[in-house]
Chain A
């Protein structure tokens, strides 16, 4: 019996050591002098090219590169924390993360977070199969449209100005991540997917060319910002002024180019 207990103890300790449960990485970590030492970014790891896992198992993306540069300039350690999009608000207000930085749409959420200035202008669009004979939003009447749960595209579809459009659909299906939505589209299970244009371009590039098209009339035009906990202006200001520094010395544009997002970034020195 004693031997068994000792064994259980060993197994448990080994397991916890492996998972690193002993290490405490508090999002709000500060050094003794009250100085910030780490900066924890919450992001959806299934949202390329803004945040995702690369071939080496590292979390990378446009937003994470920006965050890394901000951290480098402030002497912070960047902690990349993947989050479940459905519980992002709980993660933020419980202090598990310092901000949500992940192609995070401002429109419709203006009052829910303390926002940085917009740095990406992103539109919500419809992607359809090229051979489906759908050329405009009017053609979507009676069709099945897919949209990510709790996404900007869904918010746009549910907004008042789009009521008529949304009601013309045969069905509006919510899915968990884009990959399955494109599989559905490919299989003909849905006729169109509503999503961010940046994501749409990425998805289409990595698939067979000419198979999918983006409808010319956009569902909405939207902007991305970094979302901080409501009232956390101090941290927002610091991150934002660093972003302006990066715009002025050209680092911001360079990073955008690296990620192929030069067309959509909208942060310029004039905005300051």
Chain B
């Protein structure tokens, strides 16, 4: 097999890897914020549930969570989904897992904002929602950028875990090509791809950081 054919095959996997990556961020970033609110809720029950959720999601392997999300509908509820559910399960598993990590990052960020910011906004007549979205969140985002960058870089590499549900993302394909051709080159190419992807992620995050550097 020549290298172009291999790259062409891997490219299809890269698209799927990209989809897993972007869809996970798209849903887990907002979900994490909601869980962070749950974690800081006045209601003790909501707080406890959020805490347990975060603890389970961070305390068990992501690979196991993917298997559970995919097979639980049948084994627990007897529901059978079509073959398309594989990809849905992967996205769902990643979103549920990453939301837990993001929730803790948000919480730390929100709690680090001086109480005076809340008080100033309150006295000026801002509603709670206005205070959060106009005053607090922009400052939180600036503060949590470094830990979020860490998570996003980890996510790029974690997408390879989708192989447990044999979703045809890049690493799954790389392993299959490697097996068929009895060569390690596809795995090396995959490694290079993850590295370049992460260089890009780091570059974009740095841009955002710079953009938010206009104030201290």
Contact = CB atoms under 8 A, between A and B. Distances in A.
Interface of A: 8, 11-12, 15, 18-28, 40, 45-48, 52-57, 79, 81-84, 86-87, 90, 93-96, 177-179, 182-183, 203, 206-207
A25 B176 contact: no
Interface string B150-179: 000000000000011110100011011111
Given A24-B82, A53-B173, A84-B164, A12 B1 contact: no
Nearest to A28: B80
A11 B88 CA distance: 15
Given A23-B82, A53-B173, A94-B75, 14 more contacts: A11-B22, A15-B22, A18-B15, A18-B19, A19-B16, A24-B81, A48-B180, A52-B176, A53-B9, A82-B168, A82-B176, A179-B178, A206-B182, A207-B182
Nearest to A42: B166
Interface string B57-79: 00000000001000100110000
A81 B178 CA distance: 19
A96 B75 CA distance: 12
13 contacts: A11-B26, A19-B16, A19-B87, A20-B84, A24-B81, A26-B81, A26-B83, A53-B173, A57-B8, A84-B164, A84-B165, A179-B175, A206-B182
Given A24-B81, A179-B184, A55 B176 contact: no
B75 A47 contact: no
User: What are the 10 closest A-B residue pairs judged by CB atoms, nearest first?
Assistant: A24-B82, A46-B179, A94-B74, A25-B83, A52-B180, A82-B166, A53-B176, A57-B9, A21-B84, A45-B176
Nearest to B10: A57
B16 A48 contact: no
Contacts of A178: 179
Contacts, number: 108
B179 A52 contact: yes
Nearest to B184: A183
Interface centre among A19, A21, A40 (most CB of B within 10 A): A19
Given A53-B173, A87-B164, A95-B74, A23 B23 contact: no
Contacts of B84: 19-25
Interface of B: 1, 5, 8-9, 12, 15-16, 19, 22-23, 26, 67, 71, 74-75, 80-84, 87-88, 163-166, 168, 172-173, 175-184
A46 B171 CA distance: 12
Nearest to B182: A206
A8 B180 contact: no
A94 B12 CA distance: 28
A183 B187 CA distance: 13
A122 B96 CA distance: 44
B83 A81 contact: yes
B15 A87 contact: no
Contact of B80 (A11, A21, A94): A94
Given A15-B23, A87-B71, A177-B175, A96 B180 contact: no
Contacts of B8: 57
B166 A45 contact: yes
Contacts of B16: 19
A20 B86 CA distance: 11
B74 A54 contact: no
Nearest to B133: A1
A162 to B, nearest CB: 27
A11 B22 CA distance: 9
A53 B177 contact: yes
B19 A19 contact: yes
A83 B210 CA distance: 45
Given A19-B19, A23-B84, A57-B9, A179 B179 contact: yes
A24 B80 CA distance: 11
A90 B80 CA distance: 12
A10 to B, nearest CB: 11
B212 to A, nearest CB: 18
B19 A53 contact: no
Contact of A8 (B26, B71, B168, B181): B26
A261 B175 CA distance: 24
